[in-house]
Amino acid sequence: MNIFVCIKRVPDTSEAIVKVDDTGRGVDSSKFSFDINESDNYAVEEAVLLKEAKGGNVQIVCAGTQDADMMIRMALAKGCDSAIRIDDPRINEVDPLQVAKVLAAAIKGKEFDLVLTGCMASDDGNMAVGVALAEELGVPHAAMVKKVEAGDGKVKVYRELEGGISEVVEMDLPAVITIQTGINEPRYAPIKGIRLAQKKELTVLKLEDLGVAPEEVSEAASLIALENFYIPEVESKAEILEGEPEEKAALLAEKLVKGGLL
Amino acid sequence: MGNVFVLAEHRQGELRDITLEMLTKAAAVAWQTGGEVVAVLLGSGVDAFAEKLRGYADRVLYVDDPLFADYNSEKYQKALAPLIQEHKPELFMIGHTTQGVDLAPALAVELKLPFISDVIEINLVDGKLKPVRQFYQGKVNANFSFKGEPPYLLTFREASLEAGEPNKSGSIEKVASPLQEDIAYRRFVEYVAAEVGDVDITQSEILVAVGRGIKEEKNMPLIEELAKAMKADICGSRAAIDAGWLGHDRQVGTSGKTVKPKLYVAIGISGAFQHLAGMKGAKTIVAINKDPDAPIFSVADLGIVDDLFKVVPKLTEKLKELKG
Ligand SMILES: Cc1cc2nc3c(=O)[nH]c(=O)nc-3n(C[C@H](O)[C@H](O)[C@H](O)COP(=O)(O)OP(=O)(O)OC[C@H]3O[C@@H](n4cnc5c(N)ncnc54)[C@H](O)[C@@H]3O)c2cc1C
Ligand SMILES: Cc1cc2nc3c(=O)[nH]c(=O)nc-3n(C[C@H](O)[C@H](O)[C@H](O)COP(=O)(O)OP(=O)(O)OC[C@H]3O[C@@H](n4cnc5c(N)ncnc54)[C@H](O)[C@@H]3O)c2cc1C
Q: In this predicted model, what pLDDT tens digit does every residue of A74-105 receive, in sequence order?
A: 999 999 999 999 999 999 877 999 999 999 99
| pLDDT at site A85 | 98
Report the C-alpha gap between B246 and B42 in whole angstroms: 38
Asked if the Cβ–Cβ distance from A132 to B108 is below 8 Å, we say yes
pLDDT band at A182 (very low <50, low <70, confident <90, very high): very high
Asked if the Cβ–Cβ distance from B186 to A169 is below 8 Å, we say yes
Q: CA angle A247-A253-A256, nearest 5°? A: 140
For chain B, strand residue ranges (E) read: 4-7, 10-11, 14-15, 37-43, 59-64, 91-95, 115-125, 128-135, 140-146, 152-156, 171-174, 186-192, 206-210, 233-236, 263-267, 284-289, 302-305
Report the C-alpha gap between A84 and A68 in whole angstroms: 11
Report the C-alpha gap between A119 and A125 in whole angstroms: 9
pLDDT band at A14 (very low <50, low <70, confident <90, very high): confident
Based on DSSP, count helices (H) and strands (E) in chain A, helices before strands: 7, 13
Binding-site residues, ligand 1, Cβ < 6 A: A 6-8, 25-26, 37, 39-40, 61-64, 93-96, 99, 103, 117-118, 120-121, 124-130, 226
Angle between helices A129-137 and B104-111 (to 10 degrees): 40
CA of A93 to the centre of ligand 1 (A): 6
Asked if the Cβ–Cβ distance from B109 to A172 is below 8 Å, we say no
Of A86, A109, A71, A25, residue with least CA distance to A194 = A71
Q: Which residues 182-201 of chain A have a CB within 8 Å of chain B?
A: 182, 185
A165 touches chain B (CB under 8 A): yes
| pLDDT at site B284 | 98
Report the C-alpha gap between A92 and A214 in whole angstroms: 10
Cβ atoms within 10 Å of B248's Cβ, excluding its own: 18
Helix (H) or strand (E) holding A252: helix A245-258
Question: How distant is the Cα of B237 from the closest Cα of chain A, in angstroms?
Answer: 12
Output the average pLDDT for chain A.
95
* ipTM score for this prediction: 0.94
Asked if the Cβ–Cβ distance from B255 to A181 is below 8 Å, we say no
Ligand lying closest to the C-alpha of residue B273:
2
Strands B59-64 and B37-43: parallel
pLDDT band at A108 (very low <50, low <70, confident <90, very high): very high
Ligand 2 near B96 CB (within 6 A): no
Ligand lying closest to the C-alpha of residue A101:
1
Residues near B169 by beta carbon (within 8 Å), at least 6 away in sequence: B54, B55
Chain B residues touching A141 at Cβ < 8 A:
73, 102, 106, 186
Question: How distant is the Cα of B275 from the closest Cα of chain A, in angstroms?
Answer: 12
User: Pick from A161, A231, A261: which is nearest to B98 by CB?
Assistant: A161
Give mean pLDDT in consecutive 10-residue pieces for chain B, a chain of 324 residues.
Answer: 94 96 98 96 98 98 97 97 97 98 98 97 95 92 96 96 97 96 95 92 97 98 98 98 96 96 98 95 97 93 98 97 87
Question: How distant is the Cα of A79 from the closest Cα of chain B, in angstroms?
Answer: 22
Asked if the Cβ–Cβ distance from A234 to B295 is below 8 Å, we say yes
Report the C-alpha gap between B227 and A188 in whole angstroms: 32
Residues near A217 by beta carbon (within 8 Å), at least 6 away in sequence: A90, A91, A92, A98, A101, A102, A207
pLDDT band at A13 (very low <50, low <70, confident <90, very high): confident
Report the C-alpha gap between A115 and B26 in whole angstroms: 36
Of A99, A171, A107, residue with least CA distance to A137 = A107
pLDDT band at A158 (very low <50, low <70, confident <90, very high): very high
Task: Count Cβ atoms within 10 A of the Cβ of residue B173 and give its class: 0-12 exposed, 13-18 middle, 19 or more buried.
Answer: exposed
**Is the CB of residue B114 less than 8 Å from the CB of residue B129?**
no
| pLDDT at site A234 | 76
Asked if the Cβ–Cβ distance from A238 to B302 is below 8 Å, we say yes
User: Pick from B117, B139, B314: which is nearest to A249 by CB?
Assistant: B314
pLDDT band at A15 (very low <50, low <70, confident <90, very high): confident
